[in-house]
């Protein structure tokens, strides 16, 4: 299969192509056209048309078409690149180049379907009940009768997707429904979801000129960030630091998600073992929403041992095995390098490797490697490994007094706080280091899509601003609008 670039509806076959190979056999799975950043720069002139093409269709109709697209994505045989792709072949291809077990690829498909089929409800919640026409027209009247204006900050959202994380796509699925086009640099190992999703959307009636797919090297990412008024980029902590404070860029890096167990609940820690295990190991522990640390003031040794007992025996299985839970590291040498880093961390004072008794953690294949789950017990939050996050099930169970937790946890994308103590809850609610907060035993990996994730996408794409019209025009309320404070 060959995947060409899609220049807002026009397929473009490059003279330069990368070969995607099966992570186990090295067999060729597909070749992907590679374009340069200048093509993105040149196609910037098509961005305005991307949004216009969406605005020619009513918002309700777009949502219906996205729901159809969701069904096509999960069930249909679609024209992808120069071939036809069934759902099964999609799963096989995605697993083959990303190393993710096929069962987890299917689970991600269901997650994407869920978002697409609940788009109306999601948008209603994310816009707090704003009539969708307001986003189309730029202004309108709220249900309270007040004139509101939302101004699109970019006709397209630029997306620099991670090289190999099939789980992140739910973040950008609402964009088309908000009347904004997509300019995507697909991940090197995982072009599958963007291509299949684009094919499903186009087949469902979303205008092809609303979506651009530009596979290529880092200069494509740079051109996207330079050319789009709003972009999302996925990367390392260094990438996060680089774009911090740039209002045009929403940057997604490591999550450092955590479970915090309050003193009032910690004696019952066994009750929450399932929540902890799921938070650590769901989706092969690859996501930023997987827990990388568990904080408690006592019983931490027992908690680490119990988690180790559950996760330690998990072993590498063939990707087709429905019970396979571990994704491979498909880049040669990476698994080994990570393991060496962890081994270094385990030598620090106050650190105990709780999964040591369950056999070697590093499994090396001919062309790839795996890391079996690692559970570490830390006597304090000080050791480096307590602050680490890796793309496999790896957790530090950290002993830390409750009164120090807020100060010690550091940036936390998802915090699951298991406590009924109102004072501690209040501190957690006010803690700005925490993005998503689960009050109660909810796995960190369980996302309620009716609430914003890492910032509200609506607020990112649209600016709420004032727009006033004379009283007699239809957009204004019959109720006299206040004139106070407008001078």
Nearest CA to 365 out of 398, 412, 325, 333 is that of: 333
Least spacing, CB of residue 401 vs other proteins, in Å: 38
Q: What are phi and psi of 318, to 5 degrees?
A: -60, 145
Q: Is 16 in the site for other proteins (CB under 8 A)?
A: yes
Determine the interface stretch with other proteins among 14-22, 98-106, 128-136, 143-151 (rule: CB under 8 A).
Answer: 14-22
> Is the CB of 44 or the CB of 433 nearer to other proteins?
44
Q: How far is CA 109 from CA 102, 143, 280, in A?
A: 11, 35, 20
| Least distance in angstroms from the C-beta of 412 to other proteins | 25
Query: Which of 39/125 has CB closer to other proteins?
Result: 39
Residue number, 219 or 309, with CB nearest to other proteins? 219
Minimum distance from residue 234 beta carbon to other proteins (Å): 16
Q: Which is nearer to other proteins, 216 or 312 (CB)?
A: 216
Tell me which residues in 440-469 interact with other proteins (CB under 8 A).
none
Q: Does 425 bind other proteins (CB under 8 A)?
A: no
Cβ burial, residue 411 (10 Å; 0-12/13-18/19+)? middle
**280, 310 in Cβ contact below 8 A?**
no
User: Among residue numbers 182 through 221, which ones bind other proteins (CB under 8 A)?
Assistant: 219
Smallest gap, in angstroms, from Cβ of residue 248 to other proteins? 10
Burial of 132-166, coded b for 16+ CB within 10 Å and e otherwise, reads bebbbeebbbeeeeebbbbebbbbbbbbbbbebbb
For other proteins, the closer CB: 64 or 219 = 219
Residues 305-315, buried b or exposed e (16+ Cβ, 10 A)? bbbbbbbbebe
Binding to other proteins, residues 29-48 (CB under 8 A): 34-39, 41-42, 44-45
Site for other proteins in 234-273 (CB under 8 A): 238, 242
Cβ closest to other proteins, residue 121 vs residue 244: 244
Residue 16 CB, nearest distance to other proteins (Å)?
4
Residue 246 beta carbon to other proteins: minimum distance, rounded to whole angstroms: 8
Nearer to other proteins, 222 or 348 (CB): 222
Task: Pick out residues in 281-320 that bind other proteins (CB under 8 A).
Answer: none
As measured in angstroms, the least distance from the Cβ of 242 to other proteins is: 5
- Nearest to other proteins of 131, 248 (CB atom): 248
Q: For residues 40 and 378, which CB has a smaller minimum distance to other proteins in the complex?
A: 40
Q: Is the CB of 225 or the CB of 351 nearer to other proteins?
A: 225
Q: Does 10 bind other proteins (CB under 8 A)?
A: no
Nearest distance from residue 45's CB to other proteins, in Å? 7
Structure tokens at 260: 């915090």
Closest approach, Cβ 10 to other proteins, in A, equals 12
Restricted to residues 40-99, the positions that interact with other proteins (CB under 8 A) are 41-42, 44-45
Q: Which is nearer to other proteins, 128 or 238 (CB)?
A: 238
Site residues (CB under 8 A) for other proteins, limited to 215-234: 219, 222, 225-226
Q: CB-wise, 225 or 371, nearer to other proteins?
A: 225
Determine the interface stretch with other proteins among 8-16, 133-141, 157-165, 306-314 (rule: CB under 8 A): 8-16
Q: How many residues bind other proteins (CB under 8 A)?
A: 19
- Binding part of the chain for other proteins, among 12-20, 111-119, 271-279, 396-404 by CB under 8 A, reads 12-20
- The residues of the shown chain that bind other proteins, judged by CB under 8 A, are 14-16, 34-39, 41-42, 44-45, 219, 222, 225-226, 238, 242
């Amino acid at each position: 299969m060959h995947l060409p670039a899609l220049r807002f509806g026009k397929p473009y076959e490059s003279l330069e192509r990368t070969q995607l190979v099966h992570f186990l056999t090295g067999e060729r799975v597909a070749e992907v056209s590679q374009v340069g950043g200048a093509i993105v720069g040149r196609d910037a002139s098509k961005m305005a048309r991307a949004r216009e093409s969406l605005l020619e269709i009513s918002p309700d109709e777009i949502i219906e078409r996205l729901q159809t697209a969701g069904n096509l994505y999960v069930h249909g045989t679609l024209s992808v690149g120069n071939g036809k792709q069934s759902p099964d072949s999609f799963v096989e291809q995605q697993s083959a180049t990303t190393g993710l077990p096929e069962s987890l690829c299917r689970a991600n498909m269901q997650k994407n379907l869920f978002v697409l089929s609940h788009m109306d409800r999601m948008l209603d919640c994310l816009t707090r009940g704003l009539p969708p026409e307001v986003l189309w027209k730029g202004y309108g009247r709220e249900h309270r009768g007040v004139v509101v204006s939302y101004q699109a900050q970019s006709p397209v959202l630029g997306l620099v997707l991670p090289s190999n994380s099939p789980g992140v796509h739910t973040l950008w699925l609402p964009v088309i429904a908000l009347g904004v086009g997509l300019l995507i640099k697909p991940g090197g190992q995982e072009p599958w979801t963007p291509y299949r999703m684009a094919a499903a959307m186009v087949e469902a009636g979303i205008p092809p000129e609303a979506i651009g797919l530009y596979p290529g090297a880092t200069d494509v990412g740079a051109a996207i960030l330079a050319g789009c008024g709003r972009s999302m980029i996925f990367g390392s902590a260094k990438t996060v630091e680089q774009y911090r404070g740039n209002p045009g860029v929403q940057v997604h890096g490591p999550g450092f998600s955590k479970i915090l167990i309050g003193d009032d609940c910690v004696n019952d820690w066994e009750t929450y073992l399932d929540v902890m295990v799921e938070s650590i190991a769901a989706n092969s522990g690859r996501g930023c929403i997987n827990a990388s640390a568990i904080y408690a003031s006592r019983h931490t040794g027992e908690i680490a041992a119990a988690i180790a007992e559950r996760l330690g025996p998990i072993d590498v299985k063939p990707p087709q095995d429905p019970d396979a839970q571990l994704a491979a590291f498909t880049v040669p040498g990476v698994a080994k390098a990570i393991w060496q880093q962890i081994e270094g961390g385990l030598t620090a004072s106050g650190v105990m490797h709780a999964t040591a008794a369950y056999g070697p953690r590093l499994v090396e294949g001919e062309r790839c490697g795996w890391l079996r789950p690692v559970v570490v017990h830390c006597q304090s939050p000080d050791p480096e490994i307590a602050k680490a996050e890796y793309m496999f099930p790896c957790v530090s169970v950290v002993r830390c007094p409750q009164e120090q937790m807020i100060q010690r946890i550091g940036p936390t994308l998802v915090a699951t706080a298991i406590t009924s103590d109102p004072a501690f809850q209040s501190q957690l609610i006010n803690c700005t280091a925490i993005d998503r907060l689960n009050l109660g035993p909810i796995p960190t990996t369980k996302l309620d899509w009716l609430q914003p994730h890492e910032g509200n996408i609506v607020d990112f794409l649209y600016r709420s601003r004032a727009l006033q019209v004379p009283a007699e025009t239809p957009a204004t309320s019959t109720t006299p609008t206040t004139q106070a404070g407008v001078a």
